[in-house]
Chain A
Amino acid sequence: GQQLNQSPQSMFIQEGEDVSMNCTSSSIFNTWLWYKQDPGEGPVLLIALYKAGELTSNGRLTAQFGITRKDSFLNISASIPSDVGIYFCAALRRSGNTPLVFGKGTRLSVIA
């Protein structure tokens, strides 16, 4: 089946540091997305990317859709305690009735 390989699995960083995580696949996807899940809550969409090479920012978050359409990364600059949570990459193979595929998540811990 379609799999997204997300890394790192977990990260411990100091407040104020920048964070980078990425997602790769052996398959081509037409849409890449990044979600964040806080404890006890459902995932919340952070950034959606629709074109190969696209670089999009949302506040301190920046994500890119890889040029090969097989990868994406998410950067968080100047981390703060509320950045703690699990970050998931997700991707859609093509439009229509295909399921959204999720990576296994990156658990981020921020030490104040």
Chain B
Amino acid sequence: DTAVSQTPKYLVTQMGNDKSIKCEQNLGHDTMYWYKQDSKKFLKIMFSYNNKELIINETVPNRFSPKSPDKAHLNLHINSLELGDSAVYFCASSHGTGSGEQFFGPGTRLTVL
């Protein structure tokens, strides 16, 4: 059973396009996150949602818009993709907002050409 799943696993697209990444967790957690991992493997939080409400937005450009239709899903839509958006994006979930015990998805490798 997959705990945190993301689709797609790989995404290759042209600059200027709009794309979405989907995330689902079946752990019954109430908090979900999006992280960006750059080419040097540095992991940085982008967004956090608790019970479908945005609670952390770490100075991410407006081109990135998360959407949480329910507690088990957190999708990431990116408008007008730029070269610098190329990275691996990880979804994660946890029980509660103050928990460091997070379960990560397998990642989506986004390449912008």
A interface residues with partner B (beta carbon < 8 Å): 31, 33, 37, 40-45, 48, 86, 88, 90-92, 94-100, 102, 104-105, 107
Is B105 on the interface with A (CB-CB < 8 A)?
yes
In the complex, what's the smallest C-beta–C-beta distance from A67 to chain B, in angstroms? 19
Contact with A along B22-58 (1 / 0, CB 8 A): 0000000000000000001111110010100001101
Verify A42–B92 contact, CB threshold 8 A.
Answer: yes
Name which of B61-69, B78-86, B93-101 contacts chain A: B93-101
Verify A104–B100 contact, CB threshold 8 A.
Answer: no
Known: A31-B100, A40-B106, A45-B102. 20 other contacts (CB 8 A): A33-B101, A37-B41, A42-B4, A42-B104, A42-B105, A48-B100, A86-B41, A92-B98, A94-B98, A97-B55, A97-B56, A97-B97, A99-B45, A99-B58, A100-B45, A100-B100, A102-B44, A104-B40, A104-B42, A105-B42
Q: Which of B43, B45, B48 contacts A43 (CB 8 A)?
A: B43
Instruction: Specify which of A42, A92, A94, A99 lies most central, judged by the most chain B CB atoms within 10 Å of its CB.
Output: A42
- Number of B residues with CB within 8 Å of any CB on chain A: 24
Q: Please indicate the chain B residues that have their CB under 8 angstroms from the CB of A42 in the complex.
A: 4, 90, 92, 104-107
Contacts A41-B106, A42-B4, A42-B107: A98 and B43 contacting too (C-beta < 8 A)?
Answer: no
Q: Please indicate the chain A residues that have their CB under 8 angstroms from the CB of B100 in the complex.
A: 31, 33, 48, 90-92, 100
Instruction: Specify which of B92, B97, B102 lies most central, judged by the most chain A CB atoms within 10 Å of its CB.
Output: B102
Please report the C-alpha to C-alpha distance between residue A92 and residue B58 in the assembled complex, in whole angstroms.
Answer: 15
Please report the C-alpha to C-alpha distance between residue A98 and residue B33 in the assembled complex, in whole angstroms.
Answer: 12
